Amino acid sequence: MYIFIKEKEDEKTFIDEENIFKLLEKNKNPDKNKVRDILQKSIAKQRLEPNEVATLLNVNSKEQWDEIFEAARLLKEKVYGNRIVLFAPLYIGNECINDCEYCGFRISNKYVIRKTLNSEELKNEVKALVSKGHKRLIVVFGEHPKYSPEFIAKTIDLIYNTKLGNGEIRRVNVNAAPQTVEGYKIIKSVGIGTFQIFQETYHLPTYRKMHPKGPKSNFAWRLYGLDRAMIAGIDDVGIGALFGLYNWKFEVMGLIYHTIHLEERFGVGPHTISFPRIEPAVGTPITQIPPYQVNDEDFKKLVAVLRLSVPYTGLILTAREPVNLRREVLKLGVSQIDAGSSIGVGSYSETDPEIIKKSQFILGDTRTLDEVIYELLKENYIPSFCTACYRAGRTGEHFMEFAIPGFVKRFCTPNALFTLNEYLNDYATSKTKNLGKVIIEKELEKIPEPQKSAIFEGIKKIDIGERDVRF
Ligand code: SAM
Ligand code: SF4
């Protein structure tokens, strides 16, 4: 157990590069039966050990990969069912003092127009999002002295207090620079969902190359950034790696070691894992051909291995990815996606021909929220805007879904249906509304009494105008 916060570059961290390489080397060409045993363990909902993860990553026959994909699908159905949680990113400001080689917001990028939303603009953005039906946001900031913990807290407070008609934002997650313990406490005080920090790459030499200047050049300060969040009392944290900077298998191992570190130190792992791939960004040459570009096939593999390795952690798939790939990857164990996203500062409420120059990168999926919901319904998913756990003080929703027998049936499915019904009544196009109502009925038929009647009551309440019905 660490009694101090490691933040100096030369100290040993929980990422042991040599050992990761050794594990990846040692488990080359794994035997079929060994792989099957690991898949069995995973389907029994146990977290895999690094050695086992390295074994899965080293599979090289198509037949064995098909077994891995099948196991990931099975595990997703078994643990999470057919719900998909929806959210939207909200970019607050793109000013930044770091120089991350892959990011459109980096300080040396002369092609980006710098912008931070003022209160009026922020309210307009929130209203635009609420008017589409959003309930869950992730707010995104560059790293800049302007974006102090007080500023972040004030921003979140204003978001919660901006209402429109029947709508409001009920959960705000945060993706911002790593903070001090004191800073996290200030942010926590206004009520946040998950605090996300992506390590970008767990490979130190690559990290140094990609982050030449600014506070982000300190690998260990970032690596232990979520430890400080936990110490400050934020027990809902999200980790991630930016795929394309270094070897994808190494990064998956890094994510697993990060998970194990948090589990061992705080008794709880990350709430979510994100696995963005580098997308093209204005004035950012490295994004045209990333050094370790991950192709679609390998992307699917990494998602499946993550699903199987950490069965109780939510997986987030963003709109960086193109529509077709999103459809496929969804089945492999993703639990949250963003939809109707726009990633320019001010881009939900304004139409600005220059918006690309205020955006961090270019999105692969530009469908509207309603289009995404319609398609999810057609594929028999239940789109969910549920925020019930967070608001009832039940933190770590994904963990509870996994760990508490009957939790999904008692809470998640009903709350998903309630929030879907709210969306259908308040925001959906008639095509989506008609299909959604049929899906709600179908789902209700699957639920035994007396629960079915209780949920039916909730649905009826929403139909006659009550809002924010939840278990
Ligand atoms: N500035 C903060 C930071 O760097 O942690 C938080 C916001 S940053 C805009 C959010 C994430 O965007 C980064 O952690 C990185 O993984 C991702 N990102 C940066 N450039 C990207 C690109 N070109 N394509 C895809 N994702 C990118
Ligand atoms: Fe700044 Fe974050 Fe972009 Fe790096 S990734 S340049 S810290 S906004």
Nearest to 67 by CA among 38, 28, 45: 38
pLDDT at 311 over 80: yes
Helices (H), 44-180: 50-57, 62-80, 119-130, 149-160
pLDDT of 450 > 50? The answer is: yes
Helix (H, G, I), strand (E, B) or coil at 308: helix
- Whether the per-residue pLDDT at 261 is higher than 90: the answer is yes
Please report the pLDDT score of residue 394 as a whole number: 81
Q: How confident is the model at residue 8 (pLDDT cuts 50, 70, 90)?
A: low
Q: How far is 33 from 24, CA to CA, in rounded Å?
A: 18
48: CB partners within 8 A, 6+ apart: 38, 41, 42, 56, 256, 308, 309, 310
391-437 pLDDT per residue, tens: 888 877 777 776 677 778 888 999 999 999 999 999 999 999 999 99
Q: Residue 179: CB within 6 Å of ligand 1?
A: no
In the predicted structure, residue 171 carries a pLDDT above the cut 60: yes
Q: Which two tokens stand for residue 83?
A: 């719900």
* Higher local confidence (pLDDT), 273 or 6: 273
- Residue range 227-250, pLDDT digits in tens: 999 999 999 999 999 999 999 999
What is the residue with the minimal CA distance to atom 4 of ligand 2?
Answer: 100
Q: How far is the CA of 103 from the centre of ligand 1 (A)?
A: 6
pLDDT in tens, 68-118: 999 999 999 887 789 999 999 999 999 999 999 999 999 999 999 999 999
The CB of 95 under 6 Å from ligand 1? The reply is no
Residue 57 clears pLDDT 60, i.e. is over it:
yes
Q: Which atom of ligand 1 is nearest to the CA of 103?
A: 20
Residue 10 has what pLDDT? 57
Does residue 103 line the site of ligand 1, with CB under 6 A? Answer: yes
pLDDT at 368 over 70: yes
Distance CA 370, CA 377 (A): 11
pTM for this prediction? 0.95
Q: Please work out whether the CB of residue 361 comes within 6 Å of at least one atom of ligand 1.
A: yes
What is the CA angle 65-67-68, rounded to 5? 65
175 - beta bridge partners? 140, 196
Residue 41 Cα to ligand 1 middle (Å) = 34
Q: Which residue has the tokens 């039916």?
A: 456
For residue 4, the tally of other CB atoms under 10 A from its CB is 7
User: Cβ(275)–Cβ(303) under 8 Å?
Assistant: yes
Instruction: Decide if pLDDT at 6 tops 60.
Output: no
What is the number of residues in the chain?
471
Residue 173 CB less than 6 A away from ligand 1? no
State the amino acid at position 323 in one-letter form: V
Residue nearest atom 2 in ligand 2 by C-alpha distance: 142
Which pair of tokens denotes residue 112?
């980006």
Dig out the tokens for 471 from the structure.
């278990």
pLDDT band at 11 (very low <50, low <70, confident <90, very high): low
Atom 5, ligand 1: residue with shortest CA distance: 177
Ligand 1 contact, 287 CB (< 6 A)? yes
Type of residue at 385: F
Q: Which amino acid is at 425?
A: N
**How confident is the model over 199-234, as pLDDT tens digits?**
999 999 999 999 999 999 999 999 999 999 999 999
pLDDT of residue 2: 41
Report the alpha-carbon angle 110-114-116, nearest 5.
Answer: 165
Mean pLDDT, the chain, as a whole number? 93
242 Cα to the center of ligand 1, angstroms:
8
Q: State how far the Cα of 195 lies from the Cα of 212, in Å rounded to an integer.
A: 25
Residue 137: name the closest of 1, 340, 407, 419 by CA: 340
User: Hey, which residues does 277 pair with through a beta bridge?
Assistant: 243
Rounded to 5°, the CA angle 260-266-272 comes to 60
Which one of the ligands is nearest to 107 CA? 2
What's the gap in Å between 349 CA and the centre of ligand 2? 23
pLDDT at 77 (0 to 100): 87
Return the pLDDT at 362.
82
Looking from the CA of residue 143, the nearest atom of ligand 1 is: 1
d(CA 258, CA 16) in angstroms, rounded, equals 11
Compute the distance from residue 220 Cα to the ligand 2 centre, in Å. 17
For residue 287, give the ligand nearest its CA: 1
Interatomic CA distance for residues 267 and 262, integer angstroms: 7
Placement of tokens 């101090």 in the chain: 4
Interval between CA 279 and ligand 1 midpoint (Å): 10
Measured from the Cα of 141, ligand 2's closest atom is 8
Question: Rounded to the nearest 5°, which phi and psi values hold at 2?
Answer: -85, 135
Shortest-distance atom of ligand 2 to CA 99:
6
Give the binding-site residues of ligand 2, using a 6 Å CB cut-off: 96, 98, 100, 103, 105-106, 142-143, 216
- Token readout for 254 is 């890094």
pLDDT confidence of residue 406: 76
What separation in Å is there between the alpha carbon of 143 and the centre of ligand 1?
11
Distance CA 338, CA 316 (A): 8
Q: pLDDT tens digits for 339-359? A: 999 988 999 998 777 877 778
Rounded CA-CA distance 413/144 in Å is 41
Please report which ligand is nearest the Cα atom of 196. Answer: 1
The whole-angstrom separation of Cα 421 and Cα 428 is 10
How far, in Å, is the centroid of ligand 1 from the Cα of 186?
23
Based on C-alpha coordinates, what's the Rg of the chain? Answer: 21
Q: What is the band of 1 on the pLDDT scale with cuts at 50, 70, 90?
A: very low
For residue 222, what is the enclosing H or E element? helix 219-223
